[in-house]
Amino acid sequence: MGKAADLSKFDRGLNVLARRLGTSITEAARLVGCSRSAVVSIHAKWINDGDTSSRCQGVGRPRVIKGKGRRRLSRLWAREHRDWILDEWKRVANSDESRFLIHHVDGRVRLRRLPGEQLLPSCTAGHIQAGSGGTMLWRMFSWAALGPSVMVDKTMKAANYLNIIVDQLRPYMAFVFPNGNGIFQQDNAPCHKARIVLEWFEEHTDEFHLISWPPNSPDLNPM
């Protein structure tokens, strides 16, 4: 059975999610394909440090969890929330960020052309300076009200995301859920799972809570 240091970052994250969803240590070990001690140590590190990285971790082994395993974890998440009534879902504030392109999609654009057509206007396209063809937008909403929309200048980093949480999310949750019973949803993007971000959420659980989110799940976000 795999040791904690042998697991890839993906499998370590699956370990934490399985434990958070109430899966037993034995079942989590069987699901990921590692030892029981690895399950315990990874989950303990996540609780204490807010991440699952290993200082001696190498490139990792090939992914153990295939499509069937990921679907199983998604079902565990669905089972945990299947009995929620409408009033409970009304307390969830959903968030997401997306990149919008001003022109065409990133990367090369393929087309078919005949010999001698290389310079025809219909077979060529202009280009713009790198980095100026799109923008990223973070936004959120709940049953009660639309939330703020924030333009992100560059790639979303942990520090940028934490600023949005403090300056935008926190006032919104305080206004919409003044009793502190609100639930915030975010996916598992790296900036969302950064240590400084998770520590902030842990320190403000009296204001609102995070909902667990399955990794590599179908797009369950209504955003």
Using one digit for the tens of pLDDT, what is the confidence trace for 182-216?
999 998 888 898 889 989 998 999 999 998 776 55
- Quick check: is 15 in a domain? yes
The H or E element containing residue 69 is: helix 67-81
Are 34 and 93 in the same domain?
Answer: no
**Predicted confidence (pLDDT) at residue 96 exceeds the cutoff of 50:** yes
pLDDT tens column, 157-168? 889 999 999 999
DSSP assignment, residue 185?
E
DSSP assignment, residue 2?
B
Are 96 and 43 in the same domain?
Answer: no
- Quick check: is 57 in a domain? no
Are 45 and 90 in the same domain?
Answer: no
Lowest mean pLDDT among 100-104, 106-110, 181-185: 106-110
133: three-class secondary structure by DSSP: coil
Are 94 and 192 in the same domain?
Answer: yes
- Quick check: is 79 in a domain? no
Q: Tell me the mean pLDDT in the region 140-163.
A: 90
- Quick check: is 13 in a domain? yes
Alpha-carbon separation of residue 132 from 101, 118, 139, 152 (angstroms)? 9, 26, 21, 13
Q: Tell me the mean pLDDT in the region 38-58.
A: 68
**Predicted confidence (pLDDT) at residue 57 exceeds the cutoff of 50:** no
DSSP assignment, residue 205?
T
Q: Report how many domains make up the chain.
A: 2
Q: What pLDDT score was predicted for residue 150?
A: 93
User: What's the predicted TM-score (pTM) here?
Assistant: 0.57
Q: What pLDDT score was predicted for residue 4?
A: 65
**Predicted confidence (pLDDT) at residue 173 exceeds the cutoff of 90:** yes
- Quick check: is 154 in a domain? yes
Are 163 and 213 in the same domain?
Answer: yes
Pair of tokens at residue 115: 């010999």
Pair of tokens at residue 57: 């971790």
Report whether 168 contacts 150 (CB < 8 A).
yes
Are 100 and 187 in the same domain?
Answer: yes
Q: What pLDDT score was predicted for residue 148?
A: 93
Q: Can you state the percent helix, strand and coil of the chain, rounding each to 5? A: 40, 15, 45
Are 43 and 89 in the same domain?
Answer: no
**Predicted confidence (pLDDT) at residue 107 exceeds the cutoff of 80:** no
CA distance 7 to 44: 15
Are 92 and 45 in the same domain?
Answer: no
Are 94 and 175 in the same domain?
Answer: yes
**Predicted confidence (pLDDT) at residue 133 exceeds the cutoff of 70:** no
- Quick check: is 2 in a domain? no
Q: What pLDDT score was predicted for residue 180?
A: 92
Question: The domain spanning residue 97 has which CATH number?
Answer: 3.30.420.10
Start-to-end CA distance of the chain, whole Å, equals: 40
Are 93 and 188 in the same domain?
Answer: yes
Q: What pLDDT score was predicted for residue 127?
A: 63
Are 175 and 89 in the same domain?
Answer: yes
DSSP string computed for 124-141: ------TT-SEEEEEEEE
Are 21 and 98 in the same domain?
Answer: no
Domain extent, residue 164, equals 85-104+133-222
pLDDT confidence tier of residue 142, bands split at 50, 70 and 90: very high
- Quick check: is 121 in a domain? no
- Quick check: is 167 in a domain? yes
